[in-house]
Structure 1
């Protein structure tokens, strides 16, 4: 399962959502921490209020109670201290949680108000385990009423330096604020709707013309036709990009048209004098010399045909036609058999694909001709491997040195150094086969066989939309 989306829109939205989630999580943690700090301060202030105000009442003019009014408003209805209890001795009950940190904090508050503290013990226990509260049923019912959540009580026992006995203050510990998380979740939802929605609209305005431009570029790569150019749309930068791409398409198409015109002129200007030479050599009396001259002219003509064919690959004037590849392979093999070449047809699988029949037949002929020339024979097969159709040509020749396999598909590269057509040709056969395979959205693969010889494969995709000019349903 892919979690990271491929599109720019999906990646940007996911990034925004992830950052927002992290920010809201940090915000929630900070708010929760602040709420817990306020809750703790409220409990300690209530205990200090009980000791200072209720423990030993003073006159209104006593300066030590100047903070009384300020402290009262810090004590909410959940943390109002209970009546001070006095006892000669104090000992925590079994299971009490003695809290020295709270004791130090509470000591600092009461000593700041001028109360001398000899000893201070702070414990926390469930309300249901506190003897003082259990002895007072009405107080117990009032404290445990509410949402039913188990309540706890802070018990602080203080012994003054200038007095005898202990003062015991009890402060109900308020429940944790549930509304904090709910408000954060609601806030996150609202922010997600506004922020992610706004980003979606903005990114959609950018990515929609970019997606159209991508499809247009792919179509132009297949057809090299300037028809169907896009109308600039989207933000200013994207509109400029589309306009520049349209201008580039028009320029490329014009250059390709000029190239075709030039190649046609070259072919005509060269083939005409070659044809005239072919006629003139008939007057040569020496038959051997005449045959050599005719072979040279034929060699030049075939090389010229190969060069012109290589230059025109990808500029087919006709759309691809749906053909049975098995029948096409059998027809090409039959041509070589008719000429007496040892070419056999091996395993085949019936597959129909939209292809440029003339070009694909030319590529297969080149591979078989190479095998016949260098290895003395070939075996042709048509297989299906995953989502690809494989036109395979095997031979039992010497193969190709591993270090030269990649360069053998470059123009004018041959397996042996001579330029004799009988031993190697002009070195354009594999180059032309590779160009034709790529024209069909595939590739040419060369590899030495473990049993000896060379394996050449034209691998054509069966997926939709990979053939130049092919209907997407036909290419499926």
Structure 2
């Protein structure tokens, strides 16, 4: 498409408003600029009125020869005078009553006729006459004769000097209307921009965001619907969290009791398999409890050097860290250690080794954990981010827990206003990229 429209609603409405106002004002300017308009006629009558009155008075008071000489000297490039026995308006168009009345007020007791020409009245000028004015002389040696005047449009420089005063308020009105229109357009589209930002935050898992219910009725209804949806989702998430927490806590007691009983079994062939099963169940309950507590609502967010956090974490796990400069970000330190620790544990479990890197890219702190393990099938990359979904179906402790590690990490990152992306590496292995905002702490996102 040869014309690329703005991508936003605000831009498109602004373009429509500007185009409409410009079209209307250009149309008005074009009509005002047209030669032969009523405006041009009024300019010419005002321009020549004094000279016409003086010329009539002079002709009526002098002899024929002097009158002829005065008429000749009075002609200009835009006005032609002649004294004839008949008015030129006889074969012209309709009479212009308003202009004729104006001249009658200046020349009482005279017969006045003012018409538009139907054809060119003089061959020595290129443009057609604007007006034909015929005034019957009322006394003197030429009593009863007619002074005919062919009035031609002024040149562009002269007429635009007269019209310029009309374009100043035209341009001023355009500017004021455009400013007011853009202001109200901004007021109308700003709530939509806030709604888009709040929806993005909700998609990342932040269900505490609420919109102010102001503006037009449709915007208020949309904001109210969004707030209701957020409240319902938050209530559902809280109910699920409490349910899982209850399940995790309730399972700990019977598991502990069973463990004590199993320890009393004398035969190793029976006791050891049962202990492994109970240990798997303990891992499951611990994962459930970690998922339900999320990033820890009691933990305060503070400006932290992520390089120091990752260095301590990688040193404890025995993995390599690539971080060339300090990267500050407002985070919940314990939660971030848990999120990255889950990724390192997965890499070590499935690949036997891991590599962690830290960079600052476009104002965001980017943490990458990569390995050379088996990876995850492309069609399951999105699924494994959901709770209780694993890359493979086993539930044994040797190959992992119950599929909450990545879900916990994703939840923590989303609570920080960040994103989490999984991708398979060329040559085998998995790469997990976490992007966290590295700006100052935002009150609306505080833990």
Is TM > 0.5 for Structure 1 vs Structure 2?
yes
The corresponding residue for 2:85 is: 57
Shift of 1:422: 0.8
The corresponding residue for 2:66 is: none
After superposition, give the CA deviation of every residue in 1:238-297 in whole Å (9 maximum; x if it has no partner). Answer: 555555555555544444443443333222222222222122212222223222212212
CA pair 401-262 structure 1, distance change in 2 beyond 3 A: closer
Moved over 6 A (4+): 3-7, 36-40, 71-77, 207-223
Aligned pairs for 1:209-358 (under 5 A) are 224-225=207-208, 233-235=214-216, 238=219, 247-313=228-294, 316-337=297-318, 343-358=319-334
CA distance in 2, matches of 1:208, 1:35: 48
Structure 2 residue 419 is matched with structure 1 residue 443: yes
The corresponding residue for 2:33 is: 32
The corresponding residue for 1:106 is: 119
- The worse-fitting range, judged by mean Cα deviation, of 200-209 and 402-411 is 200-209
Shift of 1:406: 3.7
CA pair 467-451 structure 1, distance change in 2 beyond 3 A: farther
CA distance in 2, matches of 1:317, 1:70: 91
Number of residue pairs matched by the alignment: 374
CA pair 27-213 structure 1, distance change in 2 beyond 3 A: same
After superposition, give the CA deviation of every residue in 1:60-112 in whole Å (9 maximum; x if it has no partner). Answer: 8xx993759948997999xxxxxxxxxxxxxxxxxxxxxxxxxx9637xx8xx
Structure 2, gaps ≥5 residues long: 45-74, 104-116, 130-148
Shift of 1:17: 3.8
Shift of 1:466: 6.4
The corresponding residue for 2:166 is: 183
Aligned-pair RMSD on alpha carbons?
4.8
CA distance in 1, matches of 2:200, 2:382: 26
CA contact (8 A) 2:248 2:289 kept: yes
The corresponding residue for 1:459 is: 435
Shift of 1:459: 2.0
CA distance in 2, matches of 1:173, 1:105: 15
CA pair 315-200 structure 1, distance change in 2 beyond 3 A: farther
CA contact (8 A) 1:416 1:424 kept: no
- The worse-fitting range, judged by mean Cα deviation, of 266-275 and 393-402 is 393-402
CA pair 402-238 structure 1, distance change in 2 beyond 3 A: closer
